A and B are shown apart, each in its own frame.
Chain A
Amino acid sequence: MALLEVKDLKVYYKTLRGCVKAVDSVSLNIEKGRALGIAGESGCGKTSMAMAILRLLPVNGKVYGGLVMLDGVDILSMDDEEFRESVRWKRISMISQGAMNALNPVHTVGEQIIEAILTHEDVTRSEAVRRGNDLLEMVGIHPGRSKDYPHEFSGGMKQRIVIAMALSCNPDIVIADEPTTALDVMVQSQILKAIGDLRNALDLSLMLITHDLSIIAQTCDDIAVMYGGKIIEYGSVVNVYGNPKHPYSIGLLKSFPNIKAEKAPIISMPGSPPDLLSPPAGCKFHPRCPLAKGICLEKEPELAKVHPDNHRVACHNTDMLKKGTDIWNQ
């Protein structure tokens, strides 16, 4: 049994112009100790999916169907209080997009971590202080600095403090939404290294959301590629990067620059991601797809297994793809 299991999750937003199907039947699994990367372009539904799992959706957003199981227990049907008490922070915690800017400027970072621990766990203050210091140390910040205020830290240090806070109640799973997007490359590698070390030390599971394919390649075991509210390809990073099967994943990987590769023309896919207020019929990728044919315009493809070790793809044309054919050759 997977630690976290999401099944057919649907998240819609009500807006004045209509209903936005931000997450449209998404299913995924995370095993204990494993890291799943969620990739995809802006607006494809990554954050909405995470927020739905943690019940942090804005008021106009709602879960319209599906299951979220934690250790086999359905956490979607739990009442709010029970969810707050026993799941959020304690079992699943989150490092949200731009979290480092959400640190409270009028409290020291130490107070904020201690506060987080005391709110969620039944421990004494001195116990919380000790744990807070340990956490800071783990993310590479000298505990002596716990008396400093957020503005006295650099962006990278603030992000590490946010990570320490997410770990403050010993969760089983951390959901990290673009944890390094605003940071410079050197700070980014420091943070990702810290996350990796913590994961090993604490046997943490991780859901890492990012549009940056190099981050997932470096830190995750599995990857789910999202497009227009759906997962269109899913599998181990070795399989998906080594042998991508969906024309969108193939294009995305090809357009992602690799500093270690020989200089090459940069490819681009025509068009832009769908407007989720009025997505195209059939496969949502068909207007941009070089392989699109009749059925793609009519019928939405299922996420189906293409390989014994659970590599899944949602495409009508998988059979047409031979390894080595360059469908994005322009």
Chain B
Amino acid sequence: MESIEIIGGRGTIGCKKVILEVENLTKHFPLRRGIKGKLASNSTSTVKAVDGVSFSIMKGEFFGVVGESGCGKTTMGRTILRLLEPTKGKIVFKNTDLIALNTGQLKKIRTKMQIIYQDPYESMNPRLDVYRIISEPLRVQRIVKNLHDAFPYIKEVLEDVNMVPPEKYMTRYPYELSGGERQRVAIARALVLKPDFIVADEPVSMLDVSTRGGILNLMLKLSRERGVAFLYITHDLATARHVCHRIAVMYLGKIVEKGPTDDLVKHPLHPYTKALIEAVLVPDPKKRGFGEVLKGEIPSPIYPPSGCRLHPRCPIARDICKEVEPKLMPVDNNRMVACYFA
């Protein structure tokens, strides 16, 4: 198992226990072809959404995954929870091999791993009030027998997400809540089973800037005080820079670089990471500039380029990059990069 020291973030993480280990995780979607919607028999015609990613997350860690639209972040998050079946790879959660579990066992371990979606509007049933929304996982997992018994759990978890007094919010419906409040309810629902690991897929991107901080600080507090580990999926590198302990950068289904946030942001190694950071605009009119962006567009994940997937757009590519795919290799302590010339 990977053992690392996480410096940066909000201080060092005390406990260095690995909670989740992902190895060579791969998810290819079959491509529907033709008017009859027949599955393509040709094995190369798949969407290589996630194509062999490996990493571990520590207890209490805030682990960020950043990358542009379509690079496979959501697919990876969902596959880790086995909400999607992996094409291949290994997922070990708290020493349990998730791939080996049957449906019943999976349902049981799901109490410990939860997901928060991007859109708090879509992810909850508009006809249920807050009390029912949050009690749902408790009833599905048969932790409570009826709605009434759920009360103490719901009261506690609403207090945890700072919706006080809880009684005031329990009877409200989603449309009676602001976007930020709705996202708090989504977090409360994810927390009510006291999970150890949460996939947070763009949890604040639909919210206004003024309310994002509250949600992010709440999640950071959970990781700090309760040891909940987060897989924080985002396209917003600037926010990730302020909340994550470590960051992994994805491009076309692959992790191209990962490392402690400060190092990665201040001294990016991979040409893609460099370009991504360059492209982030600075909210300061005295520091103007758009940075150098990569030429061309992201290729299709159906036919990713040979060798290094970045080579057609890469400013430093040489012949070998077209032919042999570089592996994600350790650089110094804690950092890994997949580039021959980084």
Contacts and interface: CB of A to CB of B under 8 A. Distances in A.
A241 B284 contact: yes
Interface string A247-262: 0000111011111100
Interface stretch (A12-20, A186-194, A199-207): A186-194
Listed residue (B285, B286, B289, B291) with the most chain A CB atoms within 10 angstroms of its CB: B285
B180 interface: yes
Contacts of A193: 290
Contact of A266 (B8, B243, B276, B288): B243
A185 B237 contact: yes
B265 A259 contact: yes
A156 B297 CA distance: 9
Listed residue (B180, B276, B281) with the most chain A CB atoms within 10 angstroms of its CB: B281
A252 B210 contact: yes
Interface residues of A, number: 42
A255 B210 contact: yes
Nearest to A43: B208
Contact of B208 (A192, A211, A241): A211
Nearest to B243: A266
B286 A257 contact: no
B287 interface: yes
A263 B237 CA distance: 12
A234 to B, nearest CB: 15
Contacts of A263: 8-9, 241-242, 261-262
Contacts of B281: 185, 188-189, 192, 212, 214-215, 217-218
Interface stretch (A56-64, A122-130, A267-275): A267-275
Contacts of A278: none
Contacts of A211: 208-209
A198 interface: no
A184 B242 contact: no
A190 B278 CA distance: 12
Interface in B186-228: 208-217
B68 interface: yes
A242 B287 CA distance: 12
A259 B293 contact: no
Contacts of A218: 281-282, 285, 288-290
A327 interface: no
A193 B279 CA distance: 11
A41 interface: yes
Contacts of A252: 209-210
A257 B285 contact: no
A241 B265 contact: no
A251 B209 CA distance: 10
Contacts of B283: 213-214, 217, 241, 253, 256, 258
B14 to A, nearest CB: 19
A320 interface: no
Nearest to A182: B69
B320 to A, nearest CB: 25
Nearest to B285: A237
A42 to B, nearest CB: 5
B302 interface: no
A252 B179 CA distance: 17
A185 B239 CA distance: 13
B294 interface: yes
B293 A251 contact: no
Contacts of B265: 259
A184 B243 contact: no
B210 A259 contact: no
Listed residue (B238, B286, B287) with the most chain A CB atoms within 10 angstroms of its CB: B238
B238 A259 contact: yes
Nearest to A193: B290
Interface in B224-249: 235-239, 241-243
A264 interface: yes
A218 B210 CA distance: 20
A154 interface: yes
Nearest to B265: A259
A279 to B, nearest CB: 14
Contact of A268 (B9, B181, B214): B214
A255 B209 contact: yes
A266 B279 contact: no
A238 interface: yes
A184 B8 CA distance: 27
B65 to A, nearest CB: 15
B280 interface: yes
Nearest to B275: A186
Nearest to A191: B290
A246 to B, nearest CB: 13
Interface in A89-148: none
A123 B208 CA distance: 45
Contact of A185 (B208, B280, B285, B288): B280
Contacts of A186: 68, 275-276, 279, 293-294
B277 A272 contact: no
A50 to B, nearest CB: 19
Contacts of A253: 283
| 8 smallest beta-carbon distances between A and B, as pairs | A268-B213, A214-B281, A257-B238, A268-B214, A237-B285, A214-B283, A272-B178, A41-B208
26 contacts: A42-B179, A42-B208, A154-B297, A185-B235, A189-B290, A190-B290, A192-B290, A211-B209, A214-B281, A214-B282, A217-B288, A241-B283, A241-B285, A251-B210, A253-B283, A255-B212, A257-B239, A258-B238, A258-B283, A258-B284, A259-B241, A259-B277, A259-B280, A264-B242, A268-B213, A273-B210
Given A218-B288, A242-B286, A273-B210, 19 more contacts: A42-B179, A42-B208, A184-B69, A185-B68, A185-B276, A189-B290, A192-B281, A214-B238, A214-B281, A214-B283, A217-B282, A217-B283, A255-B209, A259-B282, A260-B284, A263-B9, A266-B239, A269-B213, A272-B179
Interface of B: 8-9, 68-69, 178-181, 208-217, 235-239, 241-243, 261-262, 265, 275-277, 279-291, 293-294, 297
